[in-house]
Structure 1
Amino acid sequence: MPTKKDDVYGDHISNRFNDELLALQTRFLKMGGLVETQIDSAVKALIEGDGQLAEEIRSKDKLVDRMEMDIDEEAMLIIARRQPTARDLRLVISVIRMVADLERVGDEAKKIAKFAIKLLDEGQSPQGYVEVRNISAHVMTMLHDSLDAFARLDSEQALRVMKEDKRVDEEYQAAARTLLTFMMEDPRNISRCMSVMWVLRSLERVGDHACNIAENVIFMVKGEDVRHTPMEEAERVVGR
């Protein structure tokens, strides 16, 4: 259940409106928990060569899509019925934005599962799996922390998530160079290394989506849009 730190939602005269906002937040967090599990399981399927788990992940993609559509519909109904203003409108708009990021995280989990099956069919190669473990652990922490920041309306934690994005980009570039070396050493590695490269790219994108969620948390709490702004500006907004 969402808690409050920097701001307070759910203190309206209408208890029904309070319940609607709380339900919207809760459904968003439920979807967030599902896509967290999807990413974690996709990486596990890849590393452990678990084709059955990979197929299960692919089959759940439609559930993620359905949840996105349901939350979007619920948010639009709140806007139509309640005509929220100020902070409540920021909450609803932010959920609409963030649920799209969660759906794309689900898409990345599906891609990773697809490459897990492909690598299993080709004969697994451990090359690049250390990098996969490292980057997946990093972006999973970012995703979890961004959802936690939303639940607690914690703009400071959201800012910390944003600052991690640069590190993930650096880790991805270093991993790509390592895989390129493997491919140059033995051309027989090219196909498998390219599959791992695409997995790393998907994980890097998960970090981007976690960062997007964090940016929207700051917008919810502080009322300023920090997308496409320098980190120094985001720090100023959070610190004021």
Structure 2
Amino acid sequence: MDNSKIKQHISRQFNEEMEDIRNKVLTMGGLVEQQVDLATKAFMGNDMENAEKVVQQDRYVNEMEKDIDHECTEIMAKRQPAAFDLRMLIATIKIITDLERIGDEAARIAKMTMRLEGADYYQDKYYEIEHLLNLVKDMLNGALDAYARNDVEEVIAITEQDAKVDREYTSITRQLITQMMENPRNITRALDMLWAARALERIGDHSCNVCEQVIYMVKGKDVRHLSREELERTVNSVR
């Protein structure tokens, strides 16, 4: 991890508090990554054990969000940080909200899997979303890596991945609508697939939100609601 952006404070305890927050965010991110992986494997393979594990983990993710949020608030009140330190705390509070929502999307997929236990159309393992899943997992991993290393260089690549996710989601939607029109017996399976694909697309969006907060944390620039082209110009201009 590149700590060059982290100011070394006179107070050793302050340094430890800031590093503790960073480590907790990365631990939470790792747990959320596992949730996404297990939830989609459970959905595609009708795996109730992994589905139940994801739902149980969601409680831990929720508790971690509250714990980190409280710790950030305490530091802001007690230390009155400025510059990078203040931006890191503000960005972290927003990042953990997006991570918690990613966990919610994974739990939603897992609960759908549990509802569909024993369905007779699982023989094809929902192959359509495998590519979408891999794209989203790469985005989430890249966003967490950018946070860990205070690196805005990766952000452009991640936003390019988001464009691919959107195209893949649109393609899946059209394909499933066609299947439903051709044969009404495909409707139930197609609707389930649409919900799962939508959850993955939302995970990609939340990963982009994490990247936006990394830019704010490192460069002090608010890049929310910018187009990908505007974001790229902004990142390049503040390097």
1:99-114 equivalences under 5 Å are: 99-114=96-111
User: Given that residues 155 and 218 in structure 1 are in contact (C-alpha distance below 8 angstroms), is that contact kept between their aligned partners in structure 2?
Assistant: yes
Matching residue within 57, 61, 64 for 2:58: 61
Describe the SS at the equivalent of 2:118: helix
**Offset of residue 61 of structure 1:** 1.3
Q: Size of the alignment, in residue pairs?
A: 237
Matching residue within 124, 131, 135 for 1:134: 131
Q: Cα deviations across residues 179-230 of structure 1 (Å, max 9, x unaligned)?
A: 1111112111111210111000000000000000011111111110111113
Matching residue within 43, 52, 77 for 1:80: 77
Match of 2:2 in 1: 3
User: Given that residues 31 and 67 in structure 1 are in contact (C-alpha distance below 8 angstroms), is that contact kept between their aligned partners in structure 2?
Assistant: yes
Match of 2:116 in 1: 119
Match of 1:165 in 2: 162
User: Given that residues 132 and 200 in structure 1 are in contact (C-alpha distance below 8 angstroms), is that contact kept between their aligned partners in structure 2?
Assistant: yes
Match of 2:230 in 1: 233
List, as ranges, runs of 4+ consecutive aligned residues in structure 1 with deviation greater than 6 Å.
Answer: none
The 1-side partners of 2:160 and 2:125 are apart by: 25
The 1-side partners of 2:165 and 2:71 are apart by: 34
User: Given that residues 146 and 211 in structure 1 are in contact (C-alpha distance below 8 angstroms), is that contact kept between their aligned partners in structure 2?
Assistant: yes
Q: Cα deviations across residues 142-182 of structure 1 (Å, max 9, x unaligned)?
A: 00000000001110112221222121111101001111111
The 1-side partners of 2:45 and 2:122 are apart by: 11
The 2-side partners of 1:21 and 1:124 are apart by: 50
Match of 2:147 in 1: 150
Q: Cα deviations across residues 58-91 of structure 1 (Å, max 9, x unaligned)?
A: 1221111000000000100110011111111110
Structure 1 residues 209 and 199, CA gap change in structure 2 (3 angstroms): same
Matching residue within 197, 200, 210 for 1:200: 197
Describe the SS at the equivalent of 2:117: helix
**Offset of residue 49 of structure 1:** 1.4
More displaced stretch, 89-98 vs 55-64: 55-64
Matching residue within 184, 189, 205 for 1:187: 184
**TM-score scaled by length of structure 1:** 0.94
User: Given that residues 159 and 214 in structure 1 are in contact (C-alpha distance below 8 angstroms), is that contact kept between their aligned partners in structure 2?
Assistant: no
RMSD (Å) for aligned C-alpha atoms: 1.4
**Offset of residue 17 of structure 1:** 0.8
More displaced stretch, 115-124 vs 23-32: 115-124
- Mapped pair 1:177 → 2:177: no
The 1-side partners of 2:121 and 2:52 are apart by: 17
Match of 2:33 in 1: 36
**TM-score scaled by length of structure 2:** 0.95
